[in-house]
């Protein structure tokens, strides 16, 4: 590692610092590429903020901000909004002191061994795994609500365009199979593993964080079984139990990196 030293962290835990950094980067950097937000971009931003306001397991000040952004977007009567107006709402913490969206990024579990590794894309995956699990735990009746918001966000705003195209083709291929919120959790996990499989050994891979079929047997031995012919097989019930606990709000670490 060539720049600043590692912030101490546990590579098998989820950190709130990564989730908040992802919110900051997506709302203040990626969305800002649209000076005027309208049409599909506005629809997509509304869905994203609505899912965040419902399921982001954040601190009260962050939840207050997400909820006020959600109701502001909901009440917009015009067919377009300027990014400046949206940004003013995100930064309007002086008039609304009980709201806050921290500025800047502080990657902890998503730190890379070099500045160009990990960070935001790692945060995006982590955020959406957390949101699918939160939706399931809150008994969301619409299994697709989080994945559909993710699909639209990635399609419109995600800066890595080849990633967005790959993700969209996976969504087109099989998202209609998802009906229940537990199937949504497993769909995202299995598509993430497909991406890991495709990227293993690629130049974008951080050598300190090799792409594996996740979770490893060390993290969850009962998730892995062997077929009679010796091939590997996932135990999906156990995988769901593991994901539910790993990404649950009670497992998220609020410290880290100090």
Question: Residue numbers of the site for ligand FAD (CB under 6 A)?
Answer: 110, 118, 121-122, 124-126, 129, 154, 160, 162-163, 166-167, 189, 192-193, 195-196, 199, 202, 204, 206, 209, 214
Q: Give the nearer residue to ligand FAD in terms of CB position, either 41 or 243.
A: 243
In the block, which residue shows the tokens 């919120």?
A: 181
Q: Which is nearer to ligand FAD, 72 or 214 (CB)?
A: 214
213: helix, strand or coil: coil
Closest CB to ligand FAD among residues 59, 192: 192
Q: Which residues contact 248 (CB under 8 A, 6 or more apart)?
A: 133, 137
184 and 136 in contact (C-beta within 8 Å)?
yes
**Shortest Cβ 79–ligand FAD spacing (Å):** 28
Separation CA 258–CA 5 (nearest Å): 12
Of the pair 72, 209, the CB lying nearest ligand FAD is at 209
Q: From the DSSP assignment, how many helices (H) and strands (E) are in the chain? A: 9, 4
Q: Among 181, 217, 234, 31, which Cα is nearest to 120's? A: 31
Q: Say if residue 21 is exposed, middle or buried (CB neighbours under 10 Å; 0-12, 13-18, 19+).
A: buried
- Provide the minimum distance between the beta carbon of 150 and ligand FAD in the complex, in angstroms, as a whole number: 7
Nearest distance from C-beta of residue 220 to ligand FAD, angstroms: 11
Nearest residue (CB) to ligand FAD, 89 versus 145: 145
Pseudo-torsion of CA 166, 167, 169, 170, nearest 10°?
120
Least spacing, CB of residue 11 vs ligand FAD, in Å: 7
Nearer residue to ligand FAD within complex by CB, 81 or 118: 118
CB of 219 to ligand FAD, least distance (A): 9
* Least distance between ligand FAD and beta carbon 205 (Å): 6
Classify 199 in phi/psi space as left (phi over 0), alpha (psi -120 to 50) or beta. alpha
């Amino acid at each position: 590692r060539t720049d600043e030293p590692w912030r101490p962290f546990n590579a098998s835990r989820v950190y709130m610092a990564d989730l908040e950094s992802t919110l900051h980067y997506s709302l203040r950097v990626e969305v800002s590429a649209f000076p005027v937000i309208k049409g599909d971009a506005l629809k997509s931003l509304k869905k994203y903020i609505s899912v965040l306001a419902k399921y982001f397991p954040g601190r009260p000040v962050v939840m207050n901000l997400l909820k006020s952004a959600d109701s502001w977007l909901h009440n917009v009567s015009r067919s377009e909004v300027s990014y400046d107006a949206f940004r003013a709402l995100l930064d309007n913490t002086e008039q609304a002191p009980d709201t806050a969206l921290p500025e800047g990024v502080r990657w902890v579990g998503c730190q890379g061994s070099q500045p160009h590794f990990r960070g935001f894309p790692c945060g995006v995956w982590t955020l959406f795994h957390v949101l699918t699990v939160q939706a399931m735990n809150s008994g969301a009746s619409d299994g697709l609500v989080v994945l559909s918001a993710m699909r639209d966000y990635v399609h419109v705003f995600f800066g890595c365009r080849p990633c967005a195209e790959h993700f969209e083709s996976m969504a087109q291929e099989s998202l209609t199979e998802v009906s229940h919120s537990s199937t949504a959790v497993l769909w995202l996990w299995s598509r993430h593993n497909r991406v890991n499989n495709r990227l293993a050994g690629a130049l974008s891979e951080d050598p300190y964080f090799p792409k594996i079929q996740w979770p490893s047997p060390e993290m969850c031995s009962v998730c892995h079984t062997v077929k009679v012919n010796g091939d590997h097989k996932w135990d999906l019930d156990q995988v769901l139990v593991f994901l539910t606990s790993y990404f649950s709000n009670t497992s998220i670490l609020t410290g880290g990196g100090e």
